[in-house]
Structure 1
Amino acid sequence: MSTTPAPAAHRTAVAASRGPVARLFGGFGFQILAALVLGVVLGLVAVTIGPDAAGGPNGLAATLGVIGTSYVTLLKAAVVPLIFTAIVASISNLRRVRNAARLAGQTLLWFAITALIAVTIGIVLGLVIQPGARAGDGLEASEPHTVGTSWNFLVGLIPQNFLGLSISSSLDADTGAVASSVGFNVLQVIVVAFAVGLAALRVGKRAEPFLAFTESLLKVIQRVLWWIIRIAPIGTLGLIGSAVVNYGWGKLANLAWFALAIYIGLVLVLFVVYPILLKSHGLSIRQFFSGAWPAIQLAFVSRSSIGTLPVTERITERNLGVPRAYASFAVPFGSTTKMDGCAAIYPAIAAIFVAQFFNVPLTPLHYVLIAVVSVLGSAATAGTTGATVMLTLTLSTLGLPLEGVGLLLAIDPILDMGRTAVNVAGQALVPTIVAKREGILDEELYNAPRQGLPFADDSADDDLQGDLDAELEAVRAAQSGTSAEDAPAKR
């Protein structure tokens, strides 16, 4: 009698059939690392070549920039339909889960717990390292593009249209050309999706065709996203190469201590706090990082939690074993509100830096306010400019000069790489911990070997199950010394 092996068994057997070289070069993590190294090399080459005759970027630099921005644009283009369909589908799936409200509460609780730990680390590092007192001379301030206030979050909850889309136009004074761009507020998309999903549940059986269509559309979008994910190494090469060309490390000179404090905090959260939380819940640290690393890598080079969302949701569900119904709710929600890097470590250290730079004394109450704003106010960054908004919100709350934001903008892109990587790691960590605590984590999938199919991604898709069965039969046939065609007859 024929039985269909579990996805983990498929991956293990398929991986075993490949040679060590094929497994190495076929691994998605290796491809991303190779793209990172090659991107740095090409970026340094572009810097060495210098600008073109007209003073603009040379051909190599321009090419790297186009590759990087095009890949991020592809990711962002898929975010809106992904969030909408995933949340509507997840709400419909939560009907089958008895403790849906408890899962949501536990998610928010662990968002707050990890944010509190991160902001505490940030405050301690700011006081110990004293980055503001060590700042170099010649810092040039510029005005922040967006100022965060406590109203940003409340106003952002109100959808401007069905999907929170907005169109902005600008006129080039020299050429007279009009440039238009379309943006979206992720928080508004989530609100609309929640409202539609809840309404569909209230309608009942008459909404079944709509829910079935939404789930089918989600499958289609996930397949498109899989294609985008597969070319991530190419996008990574362009993104990191462009970053080397545009930012380099020279701008760190005057803010070296500040940058050092930020990255120490990020490393402590990512490689000390998160592993402790995993170990305390009986989860393998190695398995978590091997499963989440593709998303962490992509977040580092893309500097976008939203742009990385498709990858984060995929690895949380397919590598870490979080149930789809819960992952499709927790990960999109976390991508707008769970930001240990941008909304906890960074504003804490940056606020202390500004206070020290301008010789403004801080009291214990100020440190409490930093923690409160970081834990409760991170949602105000949703759909805006991330860490800059969070920092201006923190400085406004403390009564510190907003000019301090401009001091830090010069090296913000360099810091944003690490911040976003920690954000995304936390967005995968919390659903994993909550699923483990609630007894719904697929631990077999969590502990499965990571070799073989990249992300263990498409192995659970019904349309690929036949291909996997055939490949597994070929492995079994090779081990038994029979042909693949004869294998089914011997079962």
Structure 2
Amino acid sequence: MSTSTTPSPTAATRRRNPLSAILRIPFGWQVLIGLVLGVVLGLVAAQMGPGTGEEGANWLTTTLDTIGTIFVTLLKALVPPLIFLAIVTSIANLRNVTNAARLAWKTLLWFAITALIAVSIGIALGMITSPGANTDIDRSAEGAAGTEGSWLDFLTGLVPSNFLGLSASAGDDGSVSLSFNALQILVISIAVGIAVLKVGDKAEPFLRFTGSALEIVQKLLWWVIRLAPIGTVGLLGNAVASYGWDAIGQLGVFTLDVYVGMLIVLLVVYPVLLKLNGLSIASFFRGVWPATSLGFVSRSSLGTMPMTQTVTERMGVPRHYASFAIPLGATTKMDGCAAIYPALAAIFVANFYGMPLGVTDYLLIVLVSVLGSSATAGMTGATVMLTLTLSTLGLPLEGVGLLLAIDPILDMGRTALNVTGQSLVGVIVAKREKILDQDAYDAARRTSFQAIQAEEAQDAAAEATEQSLEDAESAEGAQSAGSDAGEREKQPATA
């Protein structure tokens, strides 16, 4: 007798559903496909010429711009609550850490050390290659960046105008738009976190709320990040269509300098620091890979923060320390955005405008990079940090507009380096303080973004099942105790 097998309806449905087939493609490949598609569509849009829209953009350029804007807007919408919840929770977690003050200042010290090394490499590359000296870009195409980013703006911006750090502006059409000041939210978060430590046990209900809210916001971020391939199509496509591939190509020396500098830090400086601290280089890069790759495609240190913390914990860093170091690093540890990039960008703008830099100027670049990195606040892009650097040196802020064309390309590498450095400092400090699980670190294996998500989902399901069993046992115990009490009441009293 012969038997025949038929595929299950679920499997057949998956084969017929193109969306399921797309989702089975590895996330990294999805982003690479998005990059290629973005360049192709951008070139097509540039060839189509101006359209009939209000700003002269054709329908394809408008579509690409809309897609990219929506993706970035979704990320920005989640950043204010993420900054507040992550910083408050991370500071509050210090109450469970032995020698909390010691761990905190050592973490900040290593942030400064790695930033100093990174900015020095950026300055050295800029002095050797002189980016911007032979650039023939039409200066009439540059965009003015305004005066945002001066030291005075930076200092006054630290003072919160309201508890939420929000500001409103009215448009010409009567509409009102809200924006947030990440620095003010950071200051508010630090103050609240310290207040929680001072209040003590009475703050436990508030901490349970913030911890639960942080989990919800992080889940929402995962959903947004899954849209990164589509967002990449819009962001890169619009850059190519708006500025033209030739204009972007003329900034090749600067782009190459930035990536060479980041690769030196990633593949030379970080391995040396790991070796000096007795840590395996291969184990670190295997373990940190999911965060590095996700940072490359998401272009947001805060958006990648949940993954960065996860991989850092998987490499043996205790959760109570990782939950402090990684959120702090996501807002202040920026080897790419706040060290290499602004140093090279300042040299590029100075060369472009024929304004030579002196020794004092280079020292100011170092000072700004080491002390001013919190101005980036973990968001996509480093425009605030760049304008802060240019204004400190007295360079034209209009130079920022020249670099915006290639910012999406640069920001991918910058963010990847940022999140890798954040995890590196966590591992090094844990090792030096003898709280690193060496066996877990040595056993770190390379895995994927999807695999970690699947493991976390399984762990969450297992915890939920275990909790359900415990609740059921408790209910059975209570019911049994009630039955025994009832039986005793029914028994006749004896003298």
TM-score range relative to shorter protein: 0.7 to 0.9
State the alpha-carbon separation in 2 of the partners of residues 137 and 219 from structure 1: 47
Secondary structure of 2:109's aligned partner: helix
Counterpart of 2:342 (choices 337, 340, 347) is 347
Report what 2:357 is aligned to: 362
Secondary structure of 1:157's aligned partner: coil
State the alpha-carbon separation in 1 of the partners of residues 149 and 461 from structure 2: 46
Compared CA separation, residues 422 and 193, structure 1 to 2 (3 A): same
The AA in structure 1 aligned to 2:112 is A
Asked if 1:74 corresponds to 2:65, the answer is: no
CA contact (8 A) 1:153 1:379 kept: no
CA contact (8 A) 1:89 1:214 kept: yes
Counterpart of 1:465 (choices 459, 462, 472) is 462
Unaligned runs of 5+ in 2: 1-20, 467-495
State the alpha-carbon separation in 2 of the partners of residues 253 and 48 from structure 1: 17
State the alpha-carbon separation in 1 of the partners of residues 268 and 138 from structure 2: 35
Counterpart of 1:391 (choices 386, 405, 410) is 386
CA contact (8 A) 1:118 1:345 kept: yes
Counterpart of 2:332 (choices 321, 328, 337) is 337
Deviates more, 1:289-298 or 1:427-436: 289-298
Report what 2:254 is aligned to: 258
CA contact (8 A) 2:115 2:369 kept: yes
State the alpha-carbon separation in 2 of the partners of residues 328 and 61 from structure 1: 42
Report what 2:312 is aligned to: 316
Report what 1:169 is aligned to: 170
CA contact (8 A) 1:338 1:426 kept: yes
The AA in structure 2 aligned to 1:463 is A
Give 1:268 deviation, angstroms. Answer: 1.6
State the alpha-carbon separation in 2 of the partners of residues 252 and 452 from structure 1: 32
Counterpart of 1:54 (choices 37, 46, 52) is 52
Report what 2:102 is aligned to: 102
The within-5 A match list for 1:82-481 is: 82-136=82-136, 138-140=138-140, 141-171=142-172, 177-236=173-232, 238-246=234-242, 249-317=245-313, 319-382=314-377, 387-446=382-441, 447-451=443-447, 454=450, 456-457=452-453, 459=455, 463-465=460-462
Unaligned runs of 5+ in 1: 1-24, 172-176, 470-491
Secondary structure of 1:379's aligned partner: helix
Point out the structure with max Rg over C-alpha.
2
Secondary structure of 2:258's aligned partner: helix
Secondary structure of 1:94's aligned partner: helix
Please report the TM-score for the alignment, with normalisation by the length of structure 1: 0.76
Give 1:117 deviation, angstroms. Answer: 0.8
The AA in structure 1 aligned to 2:292 is I
Give 1:401 deviation, angstroms. Answer: 4.2
The AA in structure 1 aligned to 2:129 is I
State the alpha-carbon separation in 1 of the partners of residues 182 and 456 from structure 2: 28
Compared CA separation, residues 40 and 435, structure 1 to 2 (3 A): same
CA contact (8 A) 2:365 2:389 kept: yes
State the alpha-carbon separation in 2 of the partners of residues 246 and 45 from structure 1: 12
CA contact (8 A) 1:298 1:308 kept: yes
Give 1:292 deviation, angstroms. Answer: 3.3
CA contact (8 A) 2:93 2:324 kept: no
Compared CA separation, residues 229 and 382, structure 1 to 2 (3 A): closer
Asked if 1:44 corresponds to 2:45, the answer is: no
Secondary structure of 1:292's aligned partner: helix
Compared CA separation, residues 390 and 53, structure 1 to 2 (3 A): closer
State the alpha-carbon separation in 2 of the partners of residues 28 and 92 from structure 1: 39
CA contact (8 A) 1:27 1:451 kept: no
Compared CA separation, residues 28 and 335, structure 1 to 2 (3 A): farther
Give 1:402 deviation, angstroms. Answer: 4.1
Secondary structure of 2:185's aligned partner: helix
The AA in structure 2 aligned to 1:148 is G
State the alpha-carbon separation in 1 of the partners of residues 449 and 462 from structure 2: 13
The AA in structure 1 aligned to 2:317 is V
CA contact (8 A) 1:459 1:468 kept: no
Give 1:170 deviation, angstroms. Answer: 1.5
Give 1:58 deviation, angstroms. Answer: 6.2
Compared CA separation, residues 136 and 390, structure 1 to 2 (3 A): same
State the alpha-carbon separation in 2 of the partners of residues 332 and 376 from structure 1: 18
Deviations 1:429-484 (A, max 9, x none): 22232222222334444433344783624646763225899xxxxxxxxxxxxxxx
Compared CA separation, residues 95 and 460, structure 1 to 2 (3 A): farther
Let me know the Cα RMSD of the aligned residues. Answer: 3.5
CA contact (8 A) 2:165 2:185 kept: yes
State the alpha-carbon separation in 1 of the partners of residues 360 and 62 from structure 2: 49
Deviates more, 1:391-400 or 1:366-375: 391-400
CA contact (8 A) 2:90 2:325 kept: no
State the alpha-carbon separation in 1 of the partners of residues 25 and 327 from structure 2: 23
Compared CA separation, residues 300 and 268, structure 1 to 2 (3 A): same
Deviations 1:111-165 (A, max 9, x none): 1111111111111111111223322253333321343222333223222222212
Counterpart of 2:27 (choices 23, 28, 31) is 31
Secondary structure of 1:327's aligned partner: helix
CA contact (8 A) 2:335 2:421 kept: yes
Identity of aligned residues (%): 57
Deviations 1:401-421 (A, max 9, x none): 445444444444433333333
Deviates more, 1:341-350 or 1:76-85: 76-85
Secondary structure of 1:90's aligned partner: helix
Compared CA separation, residues 241 and 400, structure 1 to 2 (3 A): closer
Secondary structure of 1:204's aligned partner: helix
Compared CA separation, residues 305 and 178, structure 1 to 2 (3 A): farther
Q: Tell me: higher relative CO, structure 1 or 2? Use CA pairs within 8 A at least 6 residues apart.
A: 1
Compared CA separation, residues 163 and 265, structure 1 to 2 (3 A): same
